[in-house]
Chains A and B, each alone.
Chain A
């Protein structure tokens, strides 16, 4: 979901900027002793890549809106920087059968307009999220709730929506108790209650302007100048850990290169620079110390088309393995990803339960060539020249160099020519749904930190996001068992077995775990960075500290 597309233009700009080797003109100044340093305004300045498309928590799906919502809303439970679930607005208890979660709201929390936050606001919010009339793109996260799938799939013109809403398994017996009934045991479900989608809402809320916007989080929305900036200030009725910041200013800067220029000019405190700038930044003595690298819960992968029953990759598992084994992912990371991030050799990312290192096929040229020969035999082809394959990717981002790298690897290994096909993003996605390329790229990032969200959603039989059409019945059975096992350890063991089976089939090549390369001004301290951030520290902005500086 939260994938940012960089525009083609900006890439050209990057090169230009890089060529100029501009250095920031920040004057060194005299550093005053800490004791004498005057208190600095506690203002954090960040950039948004676009105007936030929607600040309606039930509806927002993009990284910019979420970045704002993280500070102005608050969920039932949250997580710490290690992604352990901790209490948010409520404490929680899971029943022994794993099918009922009871949230008990904590005292003293109120909205920015002074009204107390009550359990009924969660029931309203969750029903509204799932109500087909809201048409929320992300409502499927509540599919596990009793009556969830029926409600989400209902047709407002035909079905009795109000009856389905009544049957939906959430209830608020009193102001401080919110109960969720699950259709099946799903221990991971509590992570859904950390999402921005499930925060408390009231019927009288409006989400289109700053004026009248009611916040439930540590900060509140005080200014929203469309296409220009968003300003947040502390929510006076916030009942949690006291907020440190006086203001968060989020400026809309669409171009990453322009955001970097603003960072170098001292206008913003945090920015994610464009990939082409990374080499320059690392060599720049003023910028290099500001670099913050991290990993997040996502992967980038190239998958093989198995939807076409006569496709070469459908017919020959040897061929899939051969193509996989011929790719030197370590070199690819250095050459085509600018050395940012970590090589991915399985599907479930590090930091998530169920992660396994290196279960995918290793780089092995001899094995690859043997498998390739077997693959040609499977297909009844005489030579590599008879194999006509296409690799698809979306243009206007940085994928060209990666596709070229892969092309070269396969040319060197097998003497095979793969035709690259680049398409505009929307057209590309449309093509993948209807008729995927033999090999195609995509990315995926976590909705919640559970293997279900990766293995089943990407590679489960018939899953909507399984674009390659891959299906392994045995692995599917294991995942189905895992989904109803109450204990996480049991689930992990089953998911691991499934992952090993899937890896042996080589339905996709995972290349790199999600990663970020961010510049943070040295005076921004206490920035809690989690692997779920799309912008470094977005979950804990309110508690950052601005240290004295020039």
Chain B
């Protein structure tokens, strides 16, 4: 018996390991397609990094294109972006591109590389995102559980009201309301995150604004999934065995109800740590989130690619993490 069990466990570990490796390998073609699609779309859009209201002389545009390799054929430009070989004016040199760890130059921040720009802002963005994630889970989960337990009663209506409000209010509306009420009228909190490194209160409004939507999302998933398990046989059995309500809720209901909730936590976390354009824009957070939109309007190709790939990698990795986590939460799930 003991020997058999051990082999089964070992077998399980091998399964998980090969599953993870297989999934990681799958990320490569996914990233390839994402990069090809982003690259083609971005070059299909009319206008370029040198479009100005006050037009540049043609010779200048030609020089700039030559300097940044934008005069190469589009396929060569893509290959140069991927690297590690670098094609220029028909000759091939080493090394550049993302495979050599070089995300390329920025056309807007002329003196800085995309590596520097991302490096400067990524920690701030992830820090803000993680805090908002913790807040979302800490508030969203209990809110959903309370709503489900008080199904069709006051707690349910109250929690549903809060989550509908959170889902349907655009971030820029809620952010502005928060600024006006707590920053300008009451004067309790800083209206922006400029002093975030010295004044922790500067984080409060952006975190609240960023977590309103995910709180609502988590709460609604939790509520729906709790309601579903309420009607399951094992819950009825537990009740009939005379087990206390608290134990039933914690051990039998919440644990099972969490499985579908975990599914959405991956994308929610990915969404939060890659940064929000609106939140960073309105609260002046020195992160990378606000570059998402400005890089596109500026046709800052290197930055657009880097941010899209960052988002794609984050989503892919977190989805994988979620899938692996499943097994620990729900022993019925097996990897194959």
A265 near B194 with CB under 8 A, answer no
- Interface assignment of B252: CB less than 8 Å from any CB of chain A: no
Contact code string A303-327 (vs B, CB < 8 Å = 1, else 0) = 0000000000000000000000000
A429 contacts B281, C-beta separation under 8 Å? no
**Contact A16 B173, CB 8 Å, known A264-B184, A426-B45, A429-B47:** yes
Q: A32 an interface residue at 8 Å Cβ cutoff?
A: no
In the assembled complex, B55 has its CB within 8 A of some CB on chain A: yes
Is B282 a contact partner of A50 (Cβ separation < 8 A)?
Answer: no
- The answer to whether residues A262 and B51 also contact, given A59-B110, A426-B46 and a CB cut-off of 8 A, is no
Q: Is A429 a contact partner of B51 (Cβ separation < 8 A)?
A: yes
Q: How far in angstroms is the closest Cβ of chain A from B135?
A: 22
Instruction: Given A16-B173, A140-B57, A430-B46, answer yes or no on A425-B284 (Cβ-Cβ < 8 Å).
Output: no
Say whether B111 faces chain A, with CB atoms less than 8 Å apart. Answer: yes
- If A208-B111, A265-B190 touch, whether A257 touches B176 (CB-CB below 8 Å) is yes
B333 at the A interface (CB under 8 A):
no
Q: If A16-B173, A59-B111 touch, does A139 touch B60 (CB 8 Å cutoff)?
A: yes
CB of A344 to closest CB in B, whole Å: 17
How far is it, in angstroms, between the C-alpha of A503 and the C-alpha of B194 when the chains are bound? 49
Contact residues in A for B89 (Cβ distance below 8 Å)? 157
**Quick check: B184 and A53 within 8 Å, CB to CB?**
no
Write the chain A residue with the least CB distance to B60.
A137
CA distance A265 to B183 in the complex (A): 7
State whether B108 touches A53 (Cβ < 8 A): yes
- Nearest residue (CB) in B for A434 is B46
Chain B residues lying within 8 Å of A50, measured Cβ to Cβ, are: 294
| Least CB separation from B280: chain A residue | A254
Q: Is B86 an interface residue (CB 8 A)?
A: no
B residues 52-86 near A (Cβ < 8 Å) are 52-60, 62-64, 66-67
Residues of B near A265 (CB, < 8 A) are 183-184, 187, 190-191
The number of inter-chain residue pairs (CB within 8 angstroms) is 176
Contact B185 A22 (CB under 8 A): yes
Chain B residue at minimum C-beta to C-beta distance from A1: B54
Contact with A along B287-315 (1 / 0, CB 8 A): 10010011001110000000000000000
Known contacts A157-B89, A229-B194, A54 near B57 by CB under 8 Å? no
Q: Tally chain A residues at the interface, Cβ within 8 Å.
A: 69
- Cβ distance A206 to chain B, nearest Cβ, rounded Å: 9
Flag if B120 contacts A227 (CB, 8 Å).
yes
B193 to chain A: closest residue by CB: A228
CB nearest neighbor in B for A20: B180
Q: Which residues 25-57 of B sit at the A interface, judged by CB distance below 8 A? A: 45-48, 50-57
Interface flag for A248 (CB, 8 Å): no
Interchain CA distance A276-B187 in the complex, whole Å = 23
Contact indicator B192/A253 (Cβ below 8 Å):
yes
Question: A299 to chain B: closest CB distance in Å?
Answer: 12
Contact A255–B67 (Cβ < 8 Å): no
A9 pairs with B111, CB closer than 8 A:
no
Is there a chain B Cβ closer than 8 Å to A376's Cβ?
no
Residues 178-214 of B contacting A (Cβ, < 8 Å) = 179-180, 183-187, 190-192, 194
- At the interface, is chain A mostly helix, strand, loop or mixed? loop
Chain A contacts for B328, CB-based, 8 A: none
- Provide the residues of chain B in CB contact with A1, threshold 8 Å: 52-54
Taking the complex as formed, is B234 at the interface, i.e. its CB lies under 8 A from any CB of chain A?
no
Report A17-56 CB contacts with B as 1/0, cut-off 8 Å: 1001011110000000000000000000000001101111
Answer yes or no: A210 CB below 8 A from chain B CBs: no
Q: CB within 8 A of B290: which of A226, A254, A267?
A: A254
Most chain A CB within a 10 A radius of its CB, from B63, B66, B109, B281: B63
Report Cα–Cα, A54/B107, bound state, in Å. Answer: 10
Interface check B112, CB cutoff 8 A: yes
Most buried by A among B53, B56, B179: B53
Determine if A54 and B111 form an interchain contact, defined as CB atoms under 8 angstroms apart.
yes
**What's the Cα separation between A426 and B177 when bound, in Å?**
32
Assembly CA distance A430 to B108 (angstroms) = 18
Known: A254-B284, A255-B282, A261-B192. A426 touches B60 (CB 8 A): no
A153 touches B59 (CB 8 A): yes
Enumerate chain A residues within 8 angstroms of B67, measured Cβ to Cβ.
133, 135
In the bound complex, residues from chain B placing their C-beta under 8 Å from that of A229 are 194
Asked if residues B179 and A261 are in contact (CB atoms below 8 Å), the reply is yes
Which B residues lie within 8 Å of A208 (CB)?
111-112, 116
Among B47, B67, B121, B298, max chain A CB count under 10 A is at B47
Complex Cα spacing A133 to B299, Å? 22
Chain A neighbourhood of B221, CB < 8 A? none
Chain B's closest residue to A56 (CB) is B111
* B278 CB-CB contact with A under 8 Å: yes
The residue that A267 contacts in the complex, of B50, B117, B192, with Cβ under 8 A, is B192
Q: In whole angstroms, how far apart are the Cα atoms of A258 and B281 in the complex?
A: 8
- Are A228 and B281 CB-contacts (below 8 A) given A135-B67, A139-B60? no
| Contact partners of A55 in chain B: CB under 8 A | 111
Contact of B177 among A3, A16, A444 (CB under 8 A): A16
Distance from A246 Cβ to chain B, minimum over Cβ atoms (Å): 19
Q: In the bound complex, do residue B297 and residue A426 qualify as a contact, i.e. CB atoms below 8 Å apart?
A: yes
- List the B side residues contacting A3 at CB < 8 Å: 53
Task: Tell me whether A536 is interfacial, beta carbon within 8 Å.
Answer: no
Contact, CB under 8 Å: B190 / A251: no
Q: Which residues in chain B, 138-178, are within 8 Å of chain A measured between CB atoms?
A: 172-173, 176-177
For residue B133, CB closer than 8 A to chain A, the reply is no
Instruction: Quote the shortest CB–CB distance from B175 to chain A (angstroms).
Output: 8
A197 to B281, alpha carbons, bound, how many Å? Answer: 30
Most chain B CB inside 10 Å of its own CB: which residue of A50, A207, A254, A444: A254
Q: What are the residues of chain A within 8 A of B290 when measuring CB–CB?
A: 254
The answer to whether the Cβ of A433 comes within 8 Å of any Cβ in the partner chain is yes
- Give, as a whole number of angstroms, the nearest-CB distance from A475 to chain B: 21
CA distance A417 to B312 in the complex (A): 46
Decide if A465 is an interface residue (CB 8 Å cutoff). Answer: yes
Contacts of B50 in A (CB 8 A): 137
Q: Which residues of A contact B187 (CB under 8 A)?
A: 25, 265
Q: Is B286 an interface residue (CB 8 A)?
A: yes
Cross-chain contact of B53 among A25, A54, A207, A442 (Cβ < 8 A): A442
| Contact present for A13 and B54 (CB under 8 Å) | no
Query: In the complex the two chains form, what is the Cα distance from A429 to B46 in whole Å?
Result: 9
**In the complex, given contacts A22-B184, A227-B287, A258-B281, what are 13 additional A-B residue pairs having Cβ atoms less than 8 angstroms apart?**
A7-B281, A7-B293, A12-B173, A25-B185, A53-B109, A56-B110, A137-B60, A152-B59, A227-B120, A228-B284, A251-B284, A425-B47, A431-B46
Which B residues are within 8 Å of any A CB, using their own CB? 45-48, 50-60, 62-64, 66-67, 89, 108-112, 116-117, 120-121, 172-173, 176-177, 179-180, 183-187, 190-192, 194, 278, 281-284, 286-287, 290, 293-294, 297-299
Sort A-B residue pairs by CB-CB distance and give the 9 closest, nearest first.
Answer: A426-B47, A227-B286, A228-B286, A430-B46, A430-B47, A429-B51, A153-B59, A261-B191, A54-B110
What is the interface of chain A, defined by CB distance below 8 A to chain B? 1, 3, 5, 7, 9, 12-13, 16-17, 20, 22-25, 50-51, 53-56, 59, 61, 132-133, 135-137, 139-140, 152-153, 155-157, 207-208, 225-229, 251-255, 257-258, 261-262, 264-265, 267, 424-431, 433, 442-445, 464-465, 467
